[in-house]
Structure 1
């Protein structure tokens, strides 16, 4: 591996959570995915959901859909599954859903340290995160009544209203459209949602854009991503070049927002560093 990878591995070994270390070993050192599942269990609650800061922008032990989403994303990344974890997670989502939709968070976070942007807007059920969660359950091939209800909600929201304006909601919708089985129905929505993406306020098509935002690499994080074709190769290469340059002297990647604590900052840096390695490796930017 080149120095980019070696420096990132040193950072992950020194600063990342056990979960990201186990996932790194599975992805890059052929370790069994059982270690990832074992680490995930530490964040699971008796209600089947996940909490305990699995998504580190709130230091809240209670189960929240935001944490469930990180758990499902981790299983997808590790290319593994666990029926008991998935059944519990889907059951939790069903218990907090309103007409199939779930919210990112809940007022319980107000009793704990949290990032400034996590306020009462996150208590409203919507496409963010319902669409992304449903898409992940399709990706994991896990059928459940909540997935069916969430799918009905997502189709109704997409077909009977304008596309979402928030770039994060658009990302969630693309996760749904990538994996929902009804391809004809999904394909009809892609052009509309993609057009909205290009004008979203926090979408950074220019790799030199300042401040926090999502980039083409969030929508096409791997070379075989379904949505790679939404962007030109020049655009993707510009963001890959920028991603390489962004590596810090300690080997990790920086954040563009303020987590609620020093531990949360390190947790997030481990997550974004591992994602940077995955993306760079997939696009052939890491030498082996």
Structure 2
């Protein structure tokens, strides 16, 4: 009698294997929180490893930006994690706000990159300036070579959930096409590809689980079955 072929693992099962195989502790605990009924305290403990005494976050929490120094990009990432697990009432939030206040530019906004990144490996599209502009003046600075050409964003990058402010920017058909595209990007190893501008193997390896979690959460938020 011929053997019956085993069914291929489902996309969520392949993604779970990818996370356990490749992800940092933080992304593993986030996966457990969002998809396996894990608690929020293990996530917060993993995130604390990236927190500095100045109240900001560093240590390559955003994989493209290396080094231990606190940075607005890392700190925004940390706030996003705390928001997703419902811990923005954490005692650390006051320290985060003080850090962000200290590094604000003269016009009261935040720079994309603080000068403390100087001396550490930084992606070439994140130039380190001694007097960085805020995001409000970002258009006054030249785009780093190779950053904008070929970069693409899709409806799901903005409308991450049905209740997102940006949901109204897109028709149902436009959003559906973008979600189909997002689902199609899952690779054979179960993970989603990192952004095109990840410049080193290490940052790519750390970025892919972050991107994979984001893809899974976006698809689930829009009603895709992931069980």
The separation in 2 between residues aligned to 1:165 and 1:18, in whole angstroms, is 38
Tell me the equivalent position of 1:221: 160
Residue range with higher mean Cα deviation, 114-123 or 230-239: 114-123
**1:82, distance to aligned residue in structure 2 (A):** 4.3
Residue range with higher mean Cα deviation, 43-52 or 249-258: 249-258
Tell me the equivalent position of 1:30: 37
Given candidates 37, 40, 54, the residue that maps to 2:61 is 54
**1:127, distance to aligned residue in structure 2 (A):** 3.7
Tell me the equivalent position of 2:109: 101
Tell me the equivalent position of 2:196: 257
1:83 aligns to what SS in structure 2?
coil
Larger radius of gyration: 2
Residue range with higher mean Cα deviation, 14-23 or 222-231: 222-231
Given candidates 119, 133, 137, the residue that maps to 2:127 is 119
The separation in 1 between residues aligned to 2:59 and 2:137, in whole angstroms, is 21
Kept after mapping to 2: 8 A contact 1:5/1:286:
no
Give the number of the structure whose residues are more often helix, by fraction.
1
Tell me the equivalent position of 1:41: 48
Kept after mapping to 2: 8 A contact 1:211/1:256:
no
**1:128, distance to aligned residue in structure 2 (A):** 8.5
Tell me the equivalent position of 1:159: none
The separation in 1 between residues aligned to 2:137 and 2:90, in whole angstroms, is 24
**1:243, distance to aligned residue in structure 2 (A):** 0.7
Tell me the equivalent position of 1:276: 215
TM-score by structure 1 length?
A: 0.68
The separation in 2 between residues aligned to 1:240 and 1:258, in whole angstroms, is 22
The separation in 2 between residues aligned to 1:11 and 1:116, in whole angstroms, is 28
Kept after mapping to 1: 8 A contact 2:71/2:117:
no
Kept after mapping to 2: 8 A contact 1:4/1:286:
no
**CA separation of 1:8/1:54 partners in 2, compared to 1, >3 Å: closer, same or farther?**
same
**1:265, distance to aligned residue in structure 2 (A):** 1.1
Kept after mapping to 1: 8 A contact 2:51/2:57:
yes
Gaps of 5+ in 1: 130-163, 167-201, 203-209
2:118 aligns to what SS in structure 1?
helix
May I ask how many residue pairs the two structures share in their alignment? 212
Kept after mapping to 2: 8 A contact 1:53/1:60:
yes
Q: Which aligned pairs between 1:1-288 and structure 2 lie closer than 5 A?
A: 3-98=10-105, 99-120=107-128, 123-127=132-136, 211-288=150-227
Gaps of 5+ in 2: 1-8, 142-147
**CA separation of 1:128/1:43 partners in 2, compared to 1, >3 Å: closer, same or farther?**
farther
